[in-house]
Homo-oligomer: A and B are copies of this chain.
Amino acid sequence: MSTPTHVPPAQGYRRIATEEAFAPGFVIDAFIDMIRNKKVDDPAFESLHGFYLLSQAPRAVEIRERLKDVGEMRIAHMDAAGIDLQILAITAPGPQIFDAVTGPAIARDANDWLAAAIAKHPRRFVGLTAIAPQAPQLAVQEIERGARKLGLKGVIINSHTHDEYLDEAKFWPIFEAAEALDTPIYLHPTGPSRRMAAPLIEAGLDGAIYGFGVDTGMHALRIITSGVFDRFPKLKLVLGHCGEALPFWLFRLDFMHAATVRAGRYPRIKPLQRSISEYMRENVYVTTSGMAWEPAIMFCHKVLGADRVLYAMDYPYQYVLDEVRDSDALPMTDAERKAFFQGNAERVFGLQPVL
Kindly identify which residue among B205, B242, B263, B290 contacts A222, using a CB–CB cutoff of 8 Å: B205
- Neighbouring B residues of A203 by C-beta, 8 Å: 165, 167, 218, 221-222, 225-226, 268
Q: Are B163 and A199 in contact (CB under 8 A)?
A: yes
Alpha-carbon distance A196/B218, docked complex (angstroms): 12
| A196 nearest CB neighbor, chain B only | B196
- Residues 214-241 of A, flagged 1 when their CB comes within 8 A of B and 0 if not, give 1001100110011000000000000001
Given A198-B196, A245-B248, A296-B248, A264 and B57 touching (CB < 8 A)?
yes
A293 contacts chain B at the CB level, 8 A cutoff: yes
A141 contacts chain B at the CB level, 8 A cutoff: no
The segment out of A10-18, A31-39, A128-136, A251-259 that lies at the interface is: A251-259
Q: Are B257 and A209 in contact (CB under 8 A)?
A: yes
- Neighbouring B residues of A245 by C-beta, 8 Å: 245, 248-249
- Neighbouring B residues of A165 by C-beta, 8 Å: 199, 203
Copies in the complex: 2
Q: Are B196 and A200 in contact (CB under 8 A)?
A: yes
Count of chain A residues near B, Cβ 8 A: 66
A208 contacts chain B at the CB level, 8 A cutoff: yes
Given A196-B199, A303-B295, A221 and B249 touching (CB < 8 A)?
no
Q: What are the 10 A-B residue pairs with the smallest beta carbon separation, nearest first? A: A204-B266, A251-B293, A209-B256, A204-B269, A196-B196, A195-B198, A248-B248, A204-B268, A57-B263, A59-B263
Kindly identify which residue among B193, B210, B268 contacts A253, using a CB–CB cutoff of 8 Å: B210
Q: List 30 A-B contacts (CB under 8 A).
A: A57-B264, A57-B265, A60-B263, A167-B203, A196-B196, A196-B197, A200-B218, A203-B225, A204-B225, A204-B260, A204-B267, A207-B260, A208-B252, A209-B221, A209-B257, A210-B217, A210-B218, A210-B221, A210-B249, A213-B249, A248-B248, A248-B299, A251-B292, A251-B293, A251-B295, A251-B296, A252-B291, A255-B318, A295-B299, A295-B303
A202 contacts chain B at the CB level, 8 A cutoff: yes
Chain A residues 288-347 with CB under 8 Å of chain B are 290-293, 295-296, 299, 302-303, 318
A250 contacts chain B at the CB level, 8 A cutoff: yes
A121 contacts chain B at the CB level, 8 A cutoff: no
Given A210-B249, A252-B290, A221 and B205 touching (CB < 8 A)?
yes
- Min Cβ gap A157→B in Å is 16
Q: Are B265 and A55 in contact (CB under 8 A)?
A: yes
- Neighbouring B residues of A291 by C-beta, 8 Å: 251-252
Kindly identify which residue among B57, B255, B268 contacts A290, using a CB–CB cutoff of 8 Å: B255
A262 contacts chain B at the CB level, 8 A cutoff: yes
A26 contacts chain B at the CB level, 8 A cutoff: no
A113 contacts chain B at the CB level, 8 A cutoff: no
- Neighbouring B residues of A202 by C-beta, 8 Å: 268
Q: Are B59 and A262 in contact (CB under 8 A)?
A: yes
Given A195-B198, A199-B193, A209-B252, A55 and B263 touching (CB < 8 A)?
yes
Alpha-carbon distance A255/B319, docked complex (angstroms): 12
Chain A residues 177-207 with CB under 8 Å of chain B are 192-193, 195-200, 202-205, 207
